Structure 1
Amino acid sequence: MNAAWTKYLPGILREKLDGRQQLQKAIGNSGWLMFEKILRMGVGLFVNVWIARYLGPENFGLLSYALAFAGLFVPLVTLGLDEIVVRNVVRDPENKDETLGTAFAVKLAGGFAAFAAATATAMILRPADSLTHWLVGIIAAGSLFQSLNIIDIWFNSQVQTKYAVLARNAAFALCTIIRVLLILTRAPLTAFAIVVTIETVIAATGLLVAYRATGGSFKKWHATFATAKNLLRDSLPLALSFVSVGIYQRIDQVMLQEMSGSHEVGIYAVAVRLSEVWIFIPNAIYWSVYPSIVKAKQVSDELFYERLQKFYNLVALLAYAIAIPMTLCSQWLVDSLFGEAYTRAGLMVTWLIWAHLFTSLEIARSTFLASMNWYKIYFISALAGCILNIVLCYFLIPRYGGMGAVVASIFAYWFAGHGSCFLFKSTFRTGAMISKAIIYPKIW
C-alpha cells in the first residue's frame, strides 16, 4: 500500500515509488522536517532581520556571542547519544524503554553540567561584564530541558518526525509572536535571551504531550548503570567529536568578539545566519535515511555503499543548488534585508555559503562512520578541523576581521568533512565517494 501523499505526485514519480514502503516513509519523514525548517527559515529570517535592525550590530553581536558561547557547552547535553540511541533502538526494539530511560537520565545530568560550565566559564573569562554573564546564563538554562529531546530521537528512530515537528512548531510560533512584541515594546537585550530559553521549555513540553498522545509511556522508562556504561562507552568518541564540532562551529564568533568586538560579531553573525539557515536540508534527510542505511549494512556491503553514494550525491547536488544562486545575490539580499549597517556581510555570505557544501557532506559522512562504529575517526577528523579553525582564526581575524573568520571556517569545514578522509586508509573509499559527489553528483 502506498502512502496517501503519493497520489498527488506525477505518474512517473508514483511509478518510481510504487511498493517501496521504506522509501515512501523516508520521503514523508523528510517532508515534515523540510516543512518545519522552511517555515522557520521564512518566518524566522523575517523576525531575525527585524531583531538585527532593532538591536543594531553592537547589541546583535553581543546576543550572537552569548548564543555561540552557550552553544560551546551543548555537547555536554547531547553527549553523542542521539545516533547511538537510534542505532540501538533499530537493532533491539524490545529494550527501547531501558535505552530511552537511561539516555534521558544521562542527558539530564549533562544538562546541569552544561549550565554550570557555561555560566562559570563566562564569569572567569569576562569577570567585569555582568551583561554577558546574564545573557550566557539565561540561554544556557535551556540546557536543563534539552534532555527531553530524547523523545525527538525516538520519533526519528521510528521515522515519525511529524509529531516532534508539530511540538517544535508550536513553540516556535508562540515565541515568534513574543519576539515581535518585544521589538514593538522596545524591550531590552536580555528579554531576547529569555525567549530563547522559553522556546526550549515549550518545545520540550510539546514533545512530552506528543509522546503520550502516540501511546508512549514514561512509566515504562527505566535506567540502569550497565546500559548507561554501554551507551557512554559507544558514544564517548562521538561526544568528543561533537565537542570539537561545536567548538569549530562557534569559536569564530567567540574569538571575533575578543579580537574585534561586538560590532564585527554582529556583521559576521548576519553572514553566518544567512549561510547556515540551509543546514536543515541535509539534517532532515539524514534522520530520514539513517535507519535505512543501518539496516542496509546488515544486509550487504554492496547495498550499504550504494545507499551511501546516493546520499552523498543528493546532499552535494542540493548544496550546489543553494550555493550558486546565493553567491550571485548575497550582496543584494543583505542590503535589502538588513540595511546599510550590515552591508559588509554581503561579501562574507558570498564566500561562506560554499562552506555549506562541506558541512552537508560531513553530515552525510557521519552515517557511514556511525554505521561502522568508527567514532574515533570522527573524533580525530572533528578535532583536526577544530584546531585548524582556531589556528587560522588566530592569524586571520586580527588582520581581516570577519572575512578572516570566513576563510578559516571554509578551510576547517572542508578538512573536517572531506580532507580528513585521506588521513586513514579505512576511509579512503568514502573519501573517494565524497570526491565523486562533489565533482558529479548524479542521483538517478
Structure 2
Amino acid sequence: MFHKYVLSRVGSNTRKILGNSSWMLFEQISRMLLGLFVGVLIARHLGPMEFGNLSFLQAYISLFSIISALGLNRIVVRELVNVSGDAEKEKEIIITAFCMRVSAAVVLFVVCVAVGVIFNQSRMDYIFIISFSLFFTPFETFELLFQARTNSRPVACARSIVFFGSAVLKMILLFLGAGLQVFVVMCLVDVILSAVAVKITYKMKWGALYFNQFNFKAAKNMLTESWSEIIAAFSGMLFMRIDQIMLANLAGPDAVGVFSAASKISEMWYFVPVAIVASAFPTIVASREHGDALYWKRLGRLMNALVGLSYVVLIITFSSAAYFIPLVYGADYVESVPVLYIHIWCGLMVCFAQVSGAWLVNEKKIRLNLFRNVLGAVINLVLNFALIPVYGPVGAAIATMLSFMFAYFIFDLFYPPMKKMGLLKLRSLLLAA
C-alpha cells in the first residue's frame, strides 16, 4: 500500500522519469544484490582486518577518482540537452570532456602514488596497483550522452554483463582461497572492463569519436564553471570516505572492517536516487522554461518519491539489521549493527543532496554546492577526530550522519539563497512537498 501511495503522490511526470531510469535501476539493483552477496563472501573470507585494508584502499582511490571526473557530469548532460539533435555538437562536447578527464587522470596518478609513498608505505604495493584505475575512469564520459537522451538501456545491459562476469570470477577466486592482493587486482579489473563496455556501447550506438573534435574554448568554459563542482565533489567524497581512512589510522584496520560492513549495506541503495535524478535532470532543465510553478511542482514530486523510498529503507533496516548482519557476515561483524542503525540515516540526506544538486546546476549556482560540501567535510573531520578515539566505528558513523545533515539539510534551511529548497525538503519529510 505504501508504494502505491508514493506513486500517487509523485504524479505522471515523475512516473515517466521513473520509467526512463528503469534500465539504470535494473543494472544497479542487479549489481546491488549480487554485489552484496559477493561482498559478504569476501568479507567473511578475508576477516575484519584484511577486509578493512581492502575497504581502505577503495576509499583512498575514490578520493582521486572523484577529482578526475572534474565535476563535469551534470554540466555535460546539461550542455548535451541544450544541443540535442546536433550530432556534431554532441560529439564535440563528449570528446572535449573525455580529453580533459584523461589529462586529469595522468596528473592524479602521479599524485596518488606520491601520497601513498609519503603516508602509506606499508600499503604501497596495493596503492600502486589500484592507482591504474584512474586511467580508465574517463571512459564514463561516454555514458553521459545516454543519460541526456534518457536512453540508459544499452549501457545498463553492457555494464550488467561485465558485472556478472566479474562476480563469477570473484567467486571462483574465493573458492581457490585467493588473498587480499588478488582482490585488489580485481578492483582494477572491474574498472577496466566497465570502461571497455561503455566505450564499445557508445561506438555501436553513436559511432566513432576523433580527437580533432576537441574544442579548446568549450573546455575552458566547462572548466571555468566546474572548478567549484570539483571541490564540491571532492569534499562530498571526502566526508563520505574520510571516516574509513581516519579509522585505519586512529583505530586500526579491524575498525575499518566493522564500519565498512555496515556502510556497504547502508550505501548499497544510494544508486536509486542517483539513477532517478540523473534520468530526471533533462526534464528538470526543460521544465524551467515553462515557469516556476511547474518547475517547483516537479522538484517537489521527485523529492517526495525519494523521501518515501528512504522511509521504506529505514523501516526494513531497523527491523532486520540485528539478525541480518550476524547471520550473513558472521559473529566477527556483530559490532557493525549499531553502526548501521546510525549510518542508514545518511540515505535520506543523499536523496536531498541529489535533487538539490541538480537544481543548483540548473540554476547555475554550483558554488553553493561547494560551500555546503566543504562545510560537511570540515564538520566530519572535526567530529571524527573527537569521536573515533572514544567510540570507534560508531563514532565515525555519528560523524558522517551529522555532517550529511548539516551539509544537505540544515545548511539549506538557514542559508538565504537555499531557503526555498530547504523548505521543500522540510515539507517532503511529511511527503507534502
TM range (shorter): over 0.9
Secondary structure of the 1:337 match is: helix
2:110 matches 1:121? no
Q: Which of 92, 100, 105 is equivalent to 2:94?
A: 100
Structure ranking higher on relative contact order (CA contacts 8 Å, 6+ apart) = 2
Q: For 1:427, give the aligned amino acid.
A: M
CA shift at 1:217, angstroms?
A: 2.6
- Name the residue aligned to 1:81: 72
The answer (yes or no) to whether the contact 1:369–1:375 under 8 Å persists in 2 is yes
Q: Distance in 2 between matches of 1:27 and 1:86?
A: 18
Query: Are 1:271 and 2:262 an aligned pair?
Result: yes
Q: Indicate yes or no: 2:265 matched with 1:283.
A: no
Query: Paired residue for 1:60?
Result: 51
| Residue 219 (structure 2) pairs with residue 228 (structure 1) | yes
1:338 and 2:332 matched: no
Is it true that 1:257 corresponds to 2:248 in the alignment?
yes
Determine helix, strand or coil for the equivalent of 2:269: helix
- Identity among equivalent pairs (%): 27
Q: How far 1:168 sits from its partner (Å)?
A: 1.2
2:104 to 87, 93, 110: 110
- 1:244 partnered with 2:225: no
Q: 2:65–2:137: 8 Å Cα contact kept in structure 1? A: no
TM-score (norm 1): 0.92
Cα distance in 1 between the residues matched to 2:370 and 2:386: 25
1:127-206 residue pairs with structure 2 within 5 A? 127=121, 129=122, 132-206=123-197
Q: Partners in 2 of 1:89 and 1:255 — Cα distance? A: 39
Q: Distance in 2 between matches of 1:24 and 1:310?
A: 10
- Distance in structure 2 (CA, Å) of the matches to 1:35 and 1:359: 20
- Number of aligned positions between the proteins: 424
The alignment status of 1:426 with 2:426, answered yes or no, reads: no
Structure 2 CA distance for aligned equivalents of residues 423 and 111 of structure 1: 37
Q: Report the AA paired with residue 203 of structure 2.
A: R
Structure 1 CA distance, aligned partners of 2:338 and 2:404? 19
| Structure 1: distance between partners of 2:345 and 2:15 | 31
Give the counterpart letter for 2:117 in structure 1.
Answer: M
Deviations 1:307-329 (A, max 9, x none): 11111111111101101220121
Give 1:352 shift.
1.1
Match of 1:294?
285
**Structure 2 residue ranges without an equivalent (≥5):** none
Q: Offset of 1:400 from its aligned partner?
A: 0.4
Secondary structure of 2:23 counterpart: helix
Matching residue of 2:199: 208
Q: Tell me the CA shift for residue 117 of structure 1.
A: 1.7
Contact 1:348 1:403 in 2 (8 A): yes
Amino acid at match of 1:375: I
- Partner of 2:370 in structure 1? 379
Aligned equivalents of 2:91, 2:67: Cα separation in 1:
23
Alignment of 1:292-331 (within 5 A): 292-331=283-322
**CA separation of 1:126 and 1:212: change in aligned 2, threshold 3 A:** closer
Following TM superposition, the consecutive aligned residue runs of length 4 or more in structure 1 with deviations greater than 6 angstroms are: none
Q: Which residue does 2:394 correspond to in 1?
A: 403
Q: Secondary structure at the match of 2:270?
A: helix
Structure 1 unaligned runs (5+)?
1-9
For residue 24 of structure 1, report the CA deviation from its aligned partner: 6.7
The structure-2 alpha-carbon separation of the partners of 1:357 and 1:214, relative to structure 1 and needing over 3 Å to count, comes to same
In 2, Cα distance between the equivalents of 1:204 and 1:316? 32
Q: Aligned equivalents of 1:221 and 1:334: distance in 2? A: 53
1:272 maps to a residue whose letter is: S
d(CA) in 1 for partners of 2:155, 2:108: 24
Between 1:393-402 and 1:301-310, the stretch displaced more is: 301-310
List per-residue Cα deviations over 1:124-150 (Å, max 9, x = no partner): 1123x1xx1122222221110111111
Shift of residue 299 of structure 1?
Answer: 2.1
* Number of the residue aligned with 1:46: 37
State the alpha-carbon separation in 2 of the partners of residues 363 and 42 from structure 1.
Answer: 23
CA distances 1:61-91 after superposition (whole Å, capped 9, x unpaired)? 0000011011111122111100000001111
Matches of 2:111 and 2:289, distance apart in 1? 40
Quick one: which amino acid aligns to residue 213 of structure 2? H
Aligned counterpart for 2:431 among listed residues 436, 441, 444:
441
